[in-house]
Structure 1
């Protein structure tokens, strides 16, 4: 038998530790001596140099498994937590040590083996990211990023560095962030700065694809594979061969498709509907505005797929958390959009800038760009003097004091204002979806979630179209 990686088990319960050892040896892994405490684990690590450590969080002695996890993280040794305690406080503390996985007891043998495989793969890919980059690549990245991913705040500087660091690699990237923060733009930067830049980048919005068509859209089909399959069609993965595929809103994929997508990541091949399997060379960049860890706990997202995608996570920060970047963004959009619209608008007044700084931007950078675009089209002057009621803070009913609105309240007010401006037209030229810069299905979803209905309209108002 060809032996796999060497694993250290840190578990103070004899029966559980023994069961784990038997399971691992049967699967072909080498197992170090079993540690019962953090101190014992440290000594074994010095002598036996494991490739990965399985750690129970609750251990004998003063130190916990989380203490050991922090040490392993600093030493760049991969580890997975095993715990019978799934309280949020424990999970949050464990997460700060950057483990490669977390399994709650009781766990299945299959779960352990899948998690090990994914963790070892992710660790090896992360190791490859540590090779130095040339100054030419750094300069190219800096020039490109400054012109497209705008910001000089600490969070954006960190994001720029991480984009440059991961671009040259083939590892999967998961971009997390709210809607409107520029996740697709980040993905495009990664592609354009990579060795794959001369090949296509194919974008797929997983939320916009009907469940019945997702498989055909992603993997393609042969002529006659199903009714109305009149011709052979290449799927998005095949179209992206040699390049990058960007899967936006990956959290919306149905569980059945998650399983098939996992095979693509593992085997580097797709199964064409009505045809055979086909090898593809594709770099995967995915994005989500959902908390995928919560989705995993709820059983709506596969843990093995999450850890395959989350090899190199990137966070796209919301605009309200980097308001220092607002003047830079405003100047960028005014220059860009005035040129496109052949407008004489060259700046904003101090009052208008203050309005922008006081607003919380629930729609993030996309909302800011759309707002400036509208005012450039409406303005006949060289300066935008005001953005209207952006900073309005209504008093809470029945309260004698002002209160800070929630993000959903601000978003609801903004969408309502746009709908009223459009006479409640949702789609088409001049419709709310176009003005807000979002797709019609997304807007309809927000209308439902925010409980925005046509009740309360004037009698002659047209109902919104979906």
Structure 2
């Protein structure tokens, strides 16, 4: 027996069409709810397995207001909307839906999204069970160093370590987010190396480095003679990664037409080589990007359905400037690596150099720090590194003289603005009416800014 579905939709024709599609596919359908109150009554009396939830309902309360109640009852839900406004999408996304269906609905899209949501919910339940088991880095057998080879002492790194543990025990897609140079490939390799697929290949694909005209052949392969220049048969990256892992770096650069083919791989576990026949593949997908995919979706450059299929298990890497506690451990680790490689007896950094390293904002993140350490080792003639050559970041004249002028710095203004907004929301950060909504930013971004600016409720 298929799942029982609750449709929350105030437009009769659309609700009725949805009901017919679902019943025709064998789903049980609850009486249609046309308002917040009707939906709440149904949730209290006839608990569904999944909810199709219109964002804009008649009355004061919307589908976004109902979403937290559905989520509390551990019911997966999919938003229905004709509105692709970026702000609405951001607000809706903060409630953690299992996808979006854009009106007018196509039967194929509705049924596919239901299958995706059902699978995602099962994966999330499985991941939740795993997360309760692994409370610290030492819980994962065979993990080696507690930080999976990543140097550092920050609380953020400890959180990433725990997420790697969970991801390594699962088969779900992983989406790694973060600025360039934050170590996304290192995290992907750590997940693969500590997973059940570790003895099979991990294939790295830089989507930004492959020509848009060649990326389909690169990923899925091609048959001989399938296009001009295809003089031989080619095995694509997905087949090369069979029973292993494929890491799609900079997936935000992937062309839209290839995104649709990747979605099929995620949903159907099959590929189609250029000029060839469909074939099944058994590959774990890990993707990464330094782009804001929500902005890419709003601009029409990234598929919403692919985003949700990848966003099963996101891992967000903070920039190095927000992880001060990791700077020296990383520097010391690579100092020993490069000193040994160059047969030099260099034991550490002078105090002035340490101060410089800790005070620099590292726009290039960990990659920039590693490159600096390697260069410094090569230039060092003694046992201590006494000098490092960093690019000079020129402060703006206004910022440089802010104190003399009696002007608040940008950080001070940002902190005051966030504090004022939190006070207005009675310190509600997430959800409808929360500070993230009023500030029109992602709740995780707001939380990160609060940590960086030292904001906690004691300041309210």
Residue 137 of structure 1: CA displacement? 8.3
Aligned equivalent of 1:271? 272
Contact 1:141 1:164 in 2 (8 A): no
Aligned equivalent of 1:308? 309
Please give the alpha-carbon distance, in whole angstroms, between the structure 2 residues aligned to 1:102 and 1:274. 33
SS at match of 2:363: coil
Contact 1:393 1:404 in 2 (8 A): no
Please give the alpha-carbon distance, in whole angstroms, between the structure 1 residues aligned to 2:2 and 2:138. 36
Residue 6 of structure 1: CA displacement? 1.9
For each residue in 1:173-212, what CA deviation from the matched residue of structure 2 results, as whole angstroms up to 9, or x when unmatched? Answer: 1111111111111111111111000111011111111122
Contact 2:138 2:146 in 1 (8 A): no
Residue 81 of structure 1: CA displacement? 2.3
Aligned equivalent of 1:73? 71
Residue 85 of structure 1: CA displacement? 5.3
Aligned equivalent of 1:32? 30
Aligned equivalent of 1:324? 325
> Aligned pair in 2 of structure 1 residues 348, 98: CA closer, same or farther (>3 Å)?
same
Contact 2:99 2:305 in 1 (8 A): no
Residue 398 of structure 1: CA displacement? 12
Determine if the alignment matches structure 1 residue 127 to structure 2 residue 125.
Answer: yes
Alignment gaps of 5+ in structure 1? 407-466
Aligned equivalent of 1:284? 285
Aligned equivalent of 1:198? 199
Residue 401 of structure 1: CA displacement? 5.2
Alignment of 1:300-449 (within 5 A): 300-390=301-391, 392-396=393-397
Aligned equivalent of 1:454? none
Aligned equivalent of 1:55? 53
Aligned equivalent of 1:182? 183
Please give the alpha-carbon distance, in whole angstroms, between the structure 1 residues aligned to 2:62 and 2:399. 50
Residue 124 of structure 1: CA displacement? 1.8
Residue 105 of structure 1: CA displacement? 5.1
For each residue in 1:294-344, what CA deviation from the matched residue of structure 2 results, as whole angstroms up to 9, or x when unmatched? Answer: 222222222222222222111121112222221222222212222222222
Contact 2:86 2:298 in 1 (8 A): no
Alignment gaps of 5+ in structure 2? 412-460
Aligned equivalent of 1:424? none
Determine if the alignment matches structure 1 residue 293 to structure 2 residue 294.
Answer: yes
> Aligned pair in 2 of structure 1 residues 362, 234: CA closer, same or farther (>3 Å)?
same
How many aligned residue pairs are there? Answer: 404
TM-score, normalization by structure 2: 0.79
> Aligned pair in 2 of structure 1 residues 230, 329: CA closer, same or farther (>3 Å)?
same
- Larger RCO (CA under 8 A, 6+ residues apart): 2
> Which stretch shifts more, 184-193 or 218-227?
218-227
Contact 2:175 2:311 in 1 (8 A): yes
Alignment of 1:174-253 (within 5 A): 174-253=175-254
